[in-house]
Amino acid sequence: MSNLIAHFNYLKRSSPADYVALTLSSKELFSVLEARQKAFWWKPGRYQMTLKLSSPKKFKLVQSQFDFELTSVDVDRLKQNIATLDSELRNVISSNLPDFKGQPVNWNWANVDVRRSKGA
């Protein structure tokens, strides 16, 4: 992402007339989009999460471990967000054009039951 931002800023200074189009067709954008596709880590199964909280005031966290389960349907739904991330990034870049109207972005969610871990 930092390479894409640096390239965008460079193009904005060096090619002010068409920096948005050049950014949208750049290898830097392609690299970010490709990395997002490869970085999808969710798989069907059971997950355990541990909360780690901090505060300026002292407190005691009674329960910090929780479980949830993802089905294959949940994973498929979340995987559809990869295309949504692509659209969102293209909207952000294109928002530098006058009168740009972005594509609507609708996120898919996995509505899972989060439960306290037993024995934790």
The DSSP annotation for 53-118 comes to: ---SS----S--EEEEEE-HHHHHHHHTHHHHHHHHHHHHHHTTSTT--PPP----------EEPT
Among the listed residues 101, 100, 106, 111, the one whose alpha carbon sits nearest the alpha carbon of residue 84: 106
Model confidence pLDDT, tens digit, residues 71-116: 999 999 999 999 898 899 999 999 999 999 988 899 999 999 999 9
**120 pLDDT more than 80:** no
Which residue(s) pair with 47 in the sheet?
A: 68
Q: For residues 16 and 96, is the Cβ–Cβ distance under 8 A?
A: no
Q: Model pTM greater than 0.95?
A: no
Residue count of the chain: 120
Locate the domains of the chain by residue range.
Answer: 1-39
